[in-house]
Chains A and B, each alone.
Chain A
Amino acid sequence: MDWLDWLLLAARVVVVFFVLLLSVILLVWVERKVVADMQTRKGPMRAGPRGVLVSLADGIKLFFKEGITPALADRPVYLIAPIVSMLPAFLAFAVIPFGTGVTLFGRRVPFQIADLNVGILWVLAMSSMMVYGIVLAGWSSGSNYPLLGSIRSSAQMISYEVGMALALVSVLMYSGHLRMTQIVAAQDRVWNVVPQLPAFVIYLIAGLAETNRPPFDLPEAETELVAGYHTEYSGIKFAMFYLAEYLNTVTVAAIATTLFLGGWRGPHPEHLAWLWPILWFVVKVLAIIYAYIWIRATLPRFRYDRLMAFGWKVLIPFGLVWVLATGAVIVLPDVYGRRPVVIGAAAVLAVVLLLSLLWSALARRRETVEAPS
């Protein structure tokens, strides 16, 4: 690598950093607008056209606010926690390929910061790092509500990470690669979401829990724990938590896009061939985020014990079974040869079994609901 390569890399880092910041500013606005629309109201309308600058205004306000450190806080940890929670959110994005790339100065410039050969593991590592910021914030605030919030969140994030990891494992078993670009390349005929639909669903649910979004927003369940782990934070330090949370949402959606929705793939004309993949990528990420916002506007919050029960008793066993099934589909034909009839019969059997389970669960629910006389 000569100096030009380094320069291009630095340029990519800077661009991605600012685009992510900008995307968070827009995402907050989009979320407020979409939720407002679902709730028959208008949402922010003041700052900028249709209130588009509202989160910028909020950011500026928070930046200039006085930062108060509680007397009982463990000062160094208290100050480090927001940074610790923000960094992994940025770092996780480093392995996401958000386009094909362009040729600049006779060099191939990929639209990705680092094409690690252990891309999926990097994602997992970063998502595990996120919990540290929250735990440290809750512990160092020296107050009860943040402590409860951070205990909840560490338990929640660690449990749901297992489910998320299982979903990722089945994807990497299916595609046979750890490298993000190769996973995208492997989806040239059919997106992973089709053969790996259960893994996709597991990932989306675990992603909701990882990003502390409703209905899994227990760590900061505002009506129970005031503001949860960041109750004692104000000003720019609070803004960092807020930023981290929305960055995580973007990152989770971007990872889901890359692993399951074919990344930047999509039909496009030859004209401006470098731009279309980026647009496709953005559209897919937005679609997932829209689904997340929709869920937020619809569902009540889980209770802590139910949340853990759901994670350990439903999501993880289901993920394990799916990993097993994926493994069986990959390995068995090599051992016993391809037998379409057997595979088809097994698939039909599995679907019937799954539907009957679902049906009985639904029927049980119907029975127990009855109007008072």
Chain B
Amino acid sequence: MSETSSRLDLEHVDPDEVREETMIINMGPQHPSTHGVLRLLLELDGENVVSCQPIVGYLHTGIEKNCEYRTWQQGVAYVTRADYLAPFFNELGYCLAAERLLGIEAPPRAQVLRVLFCEMNRIASHLVWPATTGMELGAISMMLYGFREREVILDVFEAATGLRMNHSYFRIGGVIMDLPPDGPAQIREFLRVMPGRIREYERILSENPIWLERNRGVGHLSADRALAFGVTGPMLRAAGVARDVRKDEPYCGYETYEFGVPTASEGDCYARYLVRVEEMKQSLGIVEQCLDRLAEPGPVMVEDPKLRWPAQLEVGPDGIGNSPAYVRHIMEESMEALIHHFKMVTEGISVPAGEVYQPVESPRGELGYYLVSDGGHRPYRVKIRDPSFVNLQAVPAMLEGALVADAIAVIASVDPVMGGVDR
């Protein structure tokens, strides 16, 4: 002790004698704010981050490989589990890609329903973002508020698809069933409540001095670096690049909807926050337009019996199941119908040989599906370009010269979903 205190005498300090050691800490995979099982190897000099190495793979579930051993239709149920906060986008990317290989297009009403559910899903996913970020930066109430509104959206999903997550609602050739009769009213009620709630979040966070200090100027990523890393979605738009697949390569008739692509120029965590909040508002507008278009009835699945899923779902007293009339038809009335049903369910559809890349704009960025078919009943290869995975690459760059606390804000601003990253 006396020796160390004598070193405080500045005249006798030998600069070579000062011990400079960095500390390696392992943030994750079990850590409260790594969004699941992300592992960060942080090299710290005191509170400063010297280097950072993200390590992924702890949630690998073999979704891509599994798809190769299932029929084309079954793939939907697998990919929906990749990015579990944006299940509809995964289903959409997969179905659109398969439909392009088949050379078909879903009926107009199905496309409107797809847009409707995707935008609702975008809001739900963007709600989880301020919720978890708030939690991680210490604004604990924000988490409950975010999940409160997400719950309303999940109720709509549940009413329409039977499930709160992993819906398998979009199928090759359309969607599996129409909205329930009270669906539009339920969504309109949500649209009525939600703008006020978004204002509430803005009142809590937007001008909160601590929130500003934690986010502004933190995790800066310039546009050219973001592009070099392949970063997409709100992170890229927060750096000032108005790239949005919905505008640049429209699908599902997005070119006919009116919506803006919010951008900011700062490229920091706060800009990402602003962009996401604004995107929620834009999505509300799109949902409203969808509801107007849903006034006209129509089929929600292609008519071709060689492509459409043979089941006819109906809401029964115990939930969703096959309609009794259809079961009677195949079991008692028509042998051919039974054979058809059996072949479609066990063998599945066959897709012409070829390969296709179909991007969709997920809440986290460009979600791409690269499908290869060899002409058989199963995909030859399913490759998912998950935006969280690509965006995570930029974390070390954003953490240059940051503090430990910034690491949390930066990871939160990437909004990674490890289900999608590790697949």
A144 near B25 (CB under 8 angstroms)? Answer: yes
A303 near B32 (CB under 8 angstroms)? Answer: no
Cα A225 to Cα B89 in complex, Å, equals: 34
Knowing A144-B23, A148-B47, A223-B32, the reply to whether A300 touches B138 (Cβ < 8 A) is yes
- Closest chain A CB from B334 CB (angstroms): 54
Residues on A with C-beta less than 8 A from B140 are: 35, 39, 214, 296-297
Knowing A39-B145, A144-B23, the reply to whether A304 touches B47 (Cβ < 8 A) is yes
Q: Which of A57-65, A281-289, A328-336, A365-373 contacts B (4 or more CB under 8 A)?
A: A365-373
A305 within 8 A of B: yes
Q: Which of A38, A145, A148, A303 has the most CB of B within 10 A?
A: A303
B400 within 8 A of A: no
The 0/1 profile, CB within 8 Å of B marked 1, for residues 335-373 of chain A is 000000000000000000000000000000110010111
B403 near A303 (CB under 8 angstroms)? Answer: yes
A223 near B23 (CB under 8 angstroms)? Answer: no
Cα A301 to Cα B263 in complex, Å, equals: 27
Cα A351 to Cα B401 in complex, Å, equals: 41
Residues on A with C-beta less than 8 A from B136 are: 223
Interface residues in A226-241 (C-beta closer than 8 Å to B): 226
B165 within 8 A of A: no
- Closest chain A CB from B416 CB (angstroms): 15
Cα A215 to Cα B209 in complex, Å, equals: 12
The closest CB in chain A to the CB of B143 belongs to A39
A41 within 8 A of B: yes
Knowing A296-B140, A300-B137, A371-B274, the reply to whether A305 touches B403 (Cβ < 8 A) is yes
Cα A225 to Cα B42 in complex, Å, equals: 12
B210 within 8 A of A: yes
The 0/1 profile, CB within 8 Å of B marked 1, for residues 201-230 of chain A is 000000000000011011001111110000
Cα A300 to Cα B216 in complex, Å, equals: 14
A301 near B403 (CB under 8 angstroms)? Answer: no
- In this complex, the interface size class of chain A, counting residues with CB under 8 Å from chain B, is 35 or more
Cα A242 to Cα B207 in complex, Å, equals: 33
A369 near B213 (CB under 8 angstroms)? Answer: no
Knowing A145-B25, A222-B32, A372-B264, the reply to whether A299 touches B138 (Cβ < 8 A) is yes
- Residue from A38, A145, A148, A151 in contact with B141 in the complex, judged by beta carbons closer than 8 Å: A38
Question: Is the contact region of chain B dominated by helix, strand, or loop, or is it mixed?
Answer: helix
B406 near A223 (CB under 8 angstroms)? Answer: no
Cα A221 to Cα B47 in complex, Å, equals: 13
Residues on B with C-beta less than 8 A from A107 are: none
Knowing A301-B138, A365-B209, A373-B263, the reply to whether A226 touches B403 (Cβ < 8 A) is no
Residues on A with C-beta less than 8 A from B274 are: 371-372
A103 within 8 A of B: no
Cα A306 to Cα B213 in complex, Å, equals: 8
- Closest chain B CB from A149 CB (angstroms): 11
Knowing A215-B210, A372-B264, the reply to whether A226 touches B32 (Cβ < 8 A) is yes
A298 within 8 A of B: yes
B135 within 8 A of A: yes
B406 near A303 (CB under 8 angstroms)? Answer: yes
A302 within 8 A of B: yes
- Closest chain A CB from B321 CB (angstroms): 34
Residues on A with C-beta less than 8 A from B46 are: 151
B33 near A224 (CB under 8 angstroms)? Answer: yes
Residues on B with C-beta less than 8 A from A372 are: 262-264, 271, 274-275, 278
- Closest chain B CB from A96 CB (angstroms): 30
- Residue from B211, B262, B405 in contact with A224 in the complex, judged by beta carbons closer than 8 Å: B405
B403 near A223 (CB under 8 angstroms)? Answer: no
B408 near A224 (CB under 8 angstroms)? Answer: yes
Cα A40 to Cα B152 in complex, Å, equals: 14
The closest CB in chain B to the CB of A296 belongs to B140
Residues on B with C-beta less than 8 A from A303 are: 213-214, 403, 405-406
Cα A303 to Cα B208 in complex, Å, equals: 14
Interface residues in A290-315 (C-beta closer than 8 Å to B): 296-306
B359 within 8 A of A: no
Cα A206 to Cα B214 in complex, Å, equals: 20
Knowing A39-B145, A300-B210, the reply to whether A217 touches B47 (Cβ < 8 A) is no
Cα A40 to Cα B143 in complex, Å, equals: 11
Cα A226 to Cα B407 in complex, Å, equals: 14
B212 within 8 A of A: yes
Cα A180 to Cα B350 in complex, Å, equals: 87
Interface residues in B342-372 (C-beta closer than 8 Å to A): none
B7 within 8 A of A: no
Knowing A39-B145, A297-B141, A373-B263, the reply to whether A302 touches B210 (Cβ < 8 A) is yes
Cα A218 to Cα B206 in complex, Å, equals: 22
Cα A151 to Cα B45 in complex, Å, equals: 13
Residues on A with C-beta less than 8 A from B408 are: 223-224
Chain B residues close to A by CB (< 8 Å): 23-25, 31-33, 44, 46-47, 134-141, 143-145, 148, 204, 206-214, 260, 262-264, 271, 274-275, 278, 403-408
Q: 7 shortest A-B CB distances, which residue pairs?
A: A301-B138, A39-B144, A223-B33, A300-B139, A223-B136, A300-B137, A372-B264
Given contacts A144-B23, A298-B204, 15 further A-B contacts (CB under 8 A): A144-B25, A148-B23, A221-B138, A223-B137, A299-B208, A300-B137, A300-B138, A301-B138, A301-B210, A303-B213, A304-B47, A365-B207, A369-B207, A373-B260, A373-B263
What are 21 inter-chain pairs, A to B, with CB distance below 8 A?
A: A38-B141, A39-B140, A39-B141, A39-B145, A151-B46, A223-B138, A223-B408, A297-B141, A299-B138, A299-B208, A300-B137, A300-B208, A301-B137, A303-B213, A303-B405, A304-B47, A305-B403, A306-B210, A369-B206, A372-B278, A373-B260
Chain A residues close to B by CB (< 8 Å): 35, 38-41, 144-145, 148, 151-152, 214-215, 217-218, 221-226, 296-306, 365-366, 369, 371-373
